[in-house]
Structure 1
Amino acid sequence: MRKTALTFLLGALLAGPAAALTCGDTAAGFGAWKREFAQYAAQNGVGARGLAALDSATYATRTINADRNQRSFRYELDEFMRIRGGDTIVAQGRRQIENNRDFFLQLELTYGVPSSIIVAIHGMETGFGNFMGDSNVVSAITTLAYDCRRPAFFTPHALAALQLVDRGAISPNSTGAMHGELGHTQFLPGNILAYGVDGNGDGIVDMTNRADSLYSTANFLRQKGWQTGQSYAEGGPNFRVIQEWNAAGVYQRAIALIASRIDA
């Protein structure tokens, strides 16, 4: 658990020379930006493997198109639930808990987060691991760091992705979601550094491993202030923690609703 890692990265990047990095709205300047970012990454301890991964990264047009066209988060809750398969997630989530009682009991005892919340997130993010994305993680996250829309948010995650390559935690060819999220519950690279947990005890934090991913998810929520036994319904103290997981209001309400139906 490295709770302070992402905070440190954010502070260093916003206060240091990364603030002077160029940005762009098309692929035209991506190569020049990579050369700038390589210098900054090297100054911050990224080694040969991470820098090679950066050098091989390509401008992720699909990622940019998805980032600028996130229509599903504009739907009302009922429509969002229908589109995202809310009823299916509820049914499958109940089976997940029933078939893995010891695992989820230990998870709850360790972090105090209800199993229903964890499986709701797991189901919503990747259909319980059935689709964890097909976008190159390094290309996606560096493209978003280069893009002028939200470089302050994505630049620390781009640096973290290169650090993960250096450590062997991911490879230059690792795939994930459109925005560079990885694994069963779609962690951004910086959040892997900050909240990743070795759930299966093999000495490796691997977000494509179900146990690691679900333990990391529970750890994230706990570190963000989850209060054991308190309400996660909208307006309750733990709903604020759900808001830390995803910024979209309809997504937050869907997670709470799905979890409540699994618990019913």
Structure 2
Amino acid sequence: MKAIAAHIALILGLSSPALAVTCSDTGGQYEAWKPLMAAEAEAAGVGRRGIEALMATRYSKATIGADRNQKSFRYSLEKFLEVRGADAIVSIGRKRKAQNPDFYAALERQYGVPAGVLIAIHGMETGFGNFMGDTNVVSAIATLSYDCRRSDFFTPHLIAALKLVDQGTISPATVGAKHGELGHTQFLPGNALTYGVDGNGDGRVDLTDLVDAMASTANFLRQKGWRPGAGYQEGQPNFAVIEEWNAATVYQQAIALMGARIDG
């Protein structure tokens, strides 16, 4: 690691104090930004494998395009439910719950989160695992950290992604959604690092595994303050926890409404 840091400093001609990491609105300075970010990541405890993963990233135009064109959250709730296929999610969700009731009951006993909420999230995020993304996770998160639009929000997730690489939880080649989300329920790397749990007992956290993903989702909600047995519709105690899952009001409302229909 010292050799890597020395190499970075030599490339940049740095002397103490080090130059600050700066964002940009275009990809033109991305390659120059990477070694600066690598030095910051090393200072935050990222190891050799994580640094190498960062240095191998490419600016993701697909990620920037997706980040600039998030239109569905501007819809009314009725339109959002229609566009996202709420009726189909509820129908499939009820079948999934009926096919594996013991699994969801065990999650609720352990974490207090009812099946309907977990299943609604699963259906909303990836169509029950049918599409978990096609974008390199580390490149996506690095691009969003570099981009000025939400650099402060995504830089901690980049550090987390690099630590996940260090741990072997993900690899430099792992793919996810356009914003770097992982697995069945699309965890951002910082949340995966903090709330991910080994639900199936195989000794590792793998969010592309359904059991790990569902347990991790339930753990996230419980750690964010979920109150077992309390309601989760708007105005009820656990709706505030659903707000922690996604910042868009229509998304929060959709999870609550679909969850109730699945559990009903």
Report how far residue 216 of structure 1 moved: 0.4
**Aligned-residue RMSD, C-alpha:** 1.3
Q: Is residue 232 of structure 1 aligned with residue 232 of structure 2?
A: yes
1:173-204 deviation line (CA, Å, top 9, x unaligned): 10000100000000011101110110000000
Code of the residue aligned with 1:31 in structure 2: it is E
Helix, strand or coil at the partner of 2:52: helix
1:56-111 deviation line (CA, Å, top 9, x unaligned): 10001111111111000000111111111100100111111111111111000000
Change beyond 3 A, Cα 1:19–1:78 = farther
Report how far residue 18 of structure 1 moved: 10
Counterparts in 2 of 1:85-234, with a 5 A limit? 85-234=85-234
Counterparts in 2 of 1:28-107, with a 5 A limit? 28-107=28-107
Report how far residue 129 of structure 1 moved: 0.4
For this pair of structures, how many residues does the alignment match? 248
Code of the residue aligned with 1:79 in structure 2: it is K
Helix, strand or coil at the partner of 2:179: coil
The structure, 1 or 2, with the larger RCO (C-alpha pairs under 8 Å, 6+ apart) is: 1
1:122-160 deviation line (CA, Å, top 9, x unaligned): 000000100000010000000000000111110000011
CA distance in 1, matches of 2:61, 2:77: 29
CA distance in 2, matches of 1:99, 1:221: 24
CA distance in 2, matches of 1:130, 1:71: 22
Code of the residue aligned with 2:134 in structure 1: it is D
Code of the residue aligned with 1:108 in structure 2: it is E
Maintained 8 Å contact 1:141/1:180:
yes
1:229-259 deviation line (CA, Å, top 9, x unaligned): 1110111111000000000000000001101
Code of the residue aligned with 1:100 in structure 2: it is N
Maintained 8 Å contact 2:19/2:36:
no
CA distance in 1, matches of 2:127, 2:244: 21
Change beyond 3 A, Cα 1:97–1:37 = same
What's 1:242 paired with? 242
What's 2:8 paired with? none
What's 2:260 paired with? 260
TM-score, with structure 1 as normaliser: 0.92
What's 1:9 paired with? none
Maintained 8 Å contact 1:128/1:184:
yes
Report how far residue 48 of structure 1 moved: 1.8
What's 2:3 paired with? none
Identity of aligned residues (%): 63
CA distance in 1, matches of 2:112, 2:96: 18
Maintained 8 Å contact 1:18/1:40:
no
Code of the residue aligned with 1:65 in structure 2: it is G
Change beyond 3 A, Cα 1:19–1:87 = farther
Report how far residue 44 of structure 1 moved: 2.1
Helix, strand or coil at the partner of 1:20: coil
5+ long unaligned stretches in structure 1: 1-16
Report how far residue 41 of structure 1 moved: 1.2
Maintained 8 Å contact 1:54/1:138:
yes
